[in-house]
Chain A
C-alpha cells in the first residue's frame, strides 16, 4: 500500500497546554487563599463572593475541570494523533471543544462566586452550564472516536483505551447526576432526593475521581512515560488485566463515601468490597508505569520529566492503597468527615495529577516549539519544591484528621464526651492548617517556576502548527478471530471497544442505583416528616447559596459519640423531601442535622452576624450580608410547584398561599428577635435561614411526641 502523507495538528495541543498553565495558576491561587481563610476567616475581606463556601467549589472546579481538564485535552490531542497515525478528526470540533471548554470554565467561575450552585460536589454548576458541558464533552468524544475511526494503526494502543473509557464514563456520569428540574434560568432542584440523591451524587463524585482524574492520566502515562524514558512498556498482559478490572470495579465503589450513613447497608457493603477489589487493578497501572522504567533509572537521576513521573506514579500508588483502606468500615468510622479525606485527595491531585501534568508539559512544550527546555535546573528546583509542598500539605492534614477523629470520639472515664464543645477540636488543629497552607504555597511557588521556565522555552523556540508525518494505512480486510487473540481483535475495532467499555461501566451503577430507587424498604418512610414550609425552603436555598455544606454535614452517623454530641442518628426517611441532599463530606464545623431548636433564634442571628460573638475563637466567617439582603420571595411559587413536580406533597394551588405563609412565619421569627432586643426585619435572608436551621432534624422528635 502507498505511504500517505498528512500532518499532525499542533495548534490545539498548544492551546490546551497554555490553558492548563493559566488555569493551574488560578486554581492553586484560590486553593492557597482558602487554606489561609481556614485560620484567618477575615481574609474574605467581608465580601460574600470571596467567602470560603463560594471559593471552595471554585477551587475544586478550577483544579479538576480547568487545570486537570485542559491537561487531559492537551495530552490527548497530542498523543492520540501520534498513536493512531492520524490527524484529529476535525479541526472545527477541536475549535468548538477548546473554546467551549474555556467558556464553561469562565461561566463556572462567575456563577460559583455568585452563589449560583446546585451544592452537589464537583457538580455544582447549574443546569445551563451542565448542558453546555454535555455538548462540549460529546464534541470531544466525536472528535476522539472519529480520529480512532480513521486511524492508520491497525490496533488501538492502551493509552487510547483509557481515553475511550474516560469519554464514555464521564458522559454517563455527568448526565446521570445532573438530571435536575429547572426552577428558573439559574436555579434547579435535583430530581433525586435524600438518600437516592446521595447515592447518585457519590456514584458520580467517586467516579469523577476515577474517570476524570485517574483513567485519562493512566492513558497519558502510557504515552508520555515510555516516550520520555525511551523504554518499552513493561507488560501488555498487565495492561489488559488492569484496564478492564479497573473500569469495571471502579464504578461500584461510590458508596464508600456514604459508609455509616442512612444509605441501605447492602449498598454500603458493596462500596466497601469493591473498593478493596480495586486495590490491585489500580496498582496495575502503577506497576506498569514504574516497571517500564526498568533499565532507565539512571535517566531519572538527571531528567526532571522522569522525576515528576516517578513521584506522580508513586503518589498514585499511595493514594490508591489509602483509598481501599479508608473504605474499610472501621477505618472509615474514624476518618470520614475529617481532614484525613482532603489529605488523601491531595496525594492524588497534587502528586499524581499535578506532577504527571508538569512532567508532560516539560516534555511536550519543547517538542511543540521545536526546542529544548530552557532550564533543566529550574525544572529540578520545581520538582523539589513541589515535592516538599506535597509533604508539608499532606502530613499535617493526616495528623489533623486523626486528631479530630479521636477527639470527636473520646469519652471520659465516667462516660461523658471528653470534648463536648466542638470548637475545642477545631482550635486543636489550627496549627496544622497553618502548616498546610505553607505546603500549598510551596507547591504554588513551584508552579510559578514552571510558568517562567516554559515561557522562556517558548520564547527561544518556534512553534510548528502543522507537523508533517507519513504512514501506511492498515489492511482493513477482516481477520479471523482466534482463541487467545480475542483482545487483539477487539483492539482493532474502535466502536466495538467503546461498546464493551460502556457495558463494563454501566453495570455497577445500575445495580446499586435502581434498587435504591425502586425498593420501598430501602427508604423506610417516617410519618411525621413533612415538607419544608416556604420560608424554610427559602432558607435552605440560602444554605445552598452560601455552601454551608462545605464545612457542615447533615448526617449524624450511628455511633454513640455522635448521638451523644448531636442527637439521634439520621434516618433515611428524614431526607425524603431533600432535593438535593445536603449531607456534606467534611466537618470543619459541627454537624447540623439536629441543630433545630437547639439554640434560640437570637443565638443564630448573632452567630451569623459574627460567629465569635457566640463562640469565641470560631473560624467560621461572618455573614453580615444575610442581615442586610432582602429575601427573594417572588421565586417561592415556582419553587413550590417545582418541588411538587418532583413528588413533594404540597397541596394543589399551594403556590398562591405560599408567600402569605412565608410572611407569617417570618414575622413570628422577627417578633421573637425583636422581643429579645434585636432590631430584626422579617424581609431579610437571615430570617429564612433561621427558620430552616430551626426546622432541621426536628420532625423525628414530633414522631416521638405523637407516640
Chain B
C-alpha cells in the first residue's frame, strides 16, 4: 500500500510540473500584470489538481485492492437494484443507508475534460495570447465593421434618392456610359436624343431635372409611362453613375433627330 501511495505522489508531481512549466517559459519582458496572471494560473491549476486528487485517492473505502487511480477508474460494473445489498456501506444515519456505487465513467470524463479545457483556455488566451481578450475582439469587430462600411460606400449602397450627388469622376462617367448604352439606349437612344422614351439632352423634364429626381425615376421607374424599375438590376452606385452621365455628358448636346421636348422647361 505504501508503495502505491508514493507512486501516486510521483505521478502527481510530474503532472503538476508539466502543467505549470509553460507558464514560466516566457521571457522577462512581462509587466507585473502578466506575472500575476501566471502565478494565478499556476495556483489555480495547482489547487484544482490537489482537490481532485484528494477526492480520487480517498474516495473509496479500504475494501478493494489496487491503487487510488485503479480504484477510482475501477472496473466495477454498475450494480442493479437487486444486487445493491453488496454495495451498502456499514453505516446508517436516522435510517438512511448509503450505497457505494461507482461514479459513472461519463461523469468523470466530462469532469476531467472540463478541467483540461479550462487549463487550455487560460493558456491559450493568457499565456500564448496577449490576455487583452475583449479589447482585441472589440478592435476586430470594429475593423470588420469599418471594412463593411468602406465596401458599402464604394458600392454605393449608402446612396439613395435623398443622398445622391452628381459624380464628375471620369471612371464613374465611363461606367455610366457603359450602363446607359447597355440598358437605356434602346429607348432613349445612344445619344440620349430619345426614341420611345423622352429626349434627355434638352432642358425639358417630365419628372424634374435634379439628380435626385432622375435617381428616383431610374430606381423606381414610372409605370404609367413605361419606364421600368431598375433598383433590382442596378446598384445605387450604378444609378448614380448613369444619372450623372446623363446630366454631365448627354444633357446640353444637340443630337441629330432628337425627339421633341416633353414636360416642363427647367432653365
Set of chain A residues within 8 Å of B104, measured between Cβ atoms = 287
- Secondary structure call for the A interface: helix
The CB with the most chain A CB atoms within 10 A, among B99, B117, B142, is that of B99
Q: A241-B59, A560-B142 are in contact. Are A276 and B114 (CB under 8 A)?
A: yes
B98 touches A233 (CB 8 A): yes
Q: A248-B51, A265-B126, A268-B134 are in contact. Are A235 and B100 (CB under 8 A)?
A: yes
Set of chain A residues within 8 Å of B88, measured between Cβ atoms = 232
A153 touches B114 (CB 8 A): no
A272 to B133 alpha-carbon distance, docked (Å): 13
A240 to B135 alpha-carbon distance, docked (Å): 41
A280 at the interface (CB under 8 A from B): yes
A415 touches B152 (CB 8 A): yes
Set of chain A residues within 8 Å of B44, measured between Cβ atoms = 252, 270, 511
A76 to B40 alpha-carbon distance, docked (Å): 37
Q: Chain A's nearest CB lies how many Å from the CB of B7?
A: 12
Stretch at the interface among B15-23, B89-97, B192-200: B89-97
A437 to B165 alpha-carbon distance, docked (Å): 54
B102 at the interface (CB under 8 A from A): yes
A522 at the interface (CB under 8 A from B): yes
Set of chain B residues within 8 Å of A280, measured between Cβ atoms = 107, 110-111, 114
Can you name the residue of chain B whose Cβ is closest to the Cβ of A482?
Answer: B62
Set of chain A residues within 8 Å of B36, measured between Cβ atoms = 266, 515, 519
B residues 128-155 in Cβ contact with A at 8 Å:
131-135, 137-138, 141-142, 145, 148-149, 152
A residues 504-540 in Cβ contact with B at 8 Å:
504, 507, 511, 515, 519-522
A506 to B172 alpha-carbon distance, docked (Å): 69
B84 at the interface (CB under 8 A from A): yes
A273 to B59 alpha-carbon distance, docked (Å): 25
Q: A265-B133, A276-B118 are in contact. Are A294 and B62 (CB under 8 A)?
A: no
Partner of B131, one of A159, A266, A294, A483: A266
Stretch at the interface among A43-51, A421-429, A484-492: A484-492
A484 touches B61 (CB 8 A): yes
Set of chain B residues within 8 Å of A226, measured between Cβ atoms = 96-97
A487 touches B58 (CB 8 A): yes
Set of chain B residues within 8 Å of A558, measured between Cβ atoms = 134-135, 137-138
Could you give, for residues 303-330 of chain A, a 1 whenever the CB lies within 8 Å of some chain B CB and a 0 otherwise? 0000000000000000000000000010
A237 touches B118 (CB 8 A): no
B115 at the interface (CB under 8 A from A): yes
A residues 207-248 in Cβ contact with B at 8 Å:
222-223, 226-227, 232-241, 244-245, 248
The CB with the most chain A CB atoms within 10 A, among B60, B98, B115, B137, is that of B98
Could you give, for residues 19-44 of chain B, a 1 whenever the CB lies within 8 Å of some chain A CB and a 0 otherwise? 00000000000011100110010011
A415 touches B58 (CB 8 A): no
Set of chain A residues within 8 Å of B100, measured between Cβ atoms = 235-237
A226 to B100 alpha-carbon distance, docked (Å): 15
B101 at the interface (CB under 8 A from A): yes
Q: Chain A's nearest CB lies how many Å from the CB of B100?
A: 5
Could you give, for residues 561-576 of chain A, a 1 whenever the CB lies within 8 Å of some chain B CB and a 0 otherwise? 0010000010000000
B54 touches A237 (CB 8 A): no
Could you give, for residues 137-180 of chain B, a 1 whenever the CB lies within 8 Å of some chain A CB and a 0 otherwise? 11001100100110010000110000000000000000000000
A291 at the interface (CB under 8 A from B): yes
A233 touches B111 (CB 8 A): no
Set of chain B residues within 8 Å of A252, measured between Cβ atoms = 44
Could you give, for residues 232-247 of chain B, a 1 whenever the CB lies within 8 Å of some chain A CB and a 0 otherwise? 0000000000000000
A265 to B118 alpha-carbon distance, docked (Å): 15
Can you name the residue of chain B whose Cβ is closest to the Cβ of A486?
Answer: B58
Q: A83-B94, A157-B93, A244-B55 are in contact. Are A235 and B101 (CB under 8 A)?
A: yes
Q: Chain A's nearest CB lies how many Å from the CB of B224?
A: 30
Partner of A232, one of B1, B97, B103, B114: B97
The CB with the most chain A CB atoms within 10 A, among B40, B55, B93, B104, is that of B93
Question: What would 29 A/B residue contacts be, using CB atoms closer than 8 Å?
Answer: A82-B93, A83-B96, A158-B98, A223-B94, A226-B97, A232-B98, A233-B97, A235-B101, A235-B103, A236-B89, A237-B60, A240-B59, A241-B59, A244-B54, A245-B51, A265-B131, A270-B122, A272-B121, A273-B121, A280-B114, A291-B101, A415-B152, A483-B1, A484-B62, A486-B58, A487-B58, A487-B59, A515-B36, A519-B32
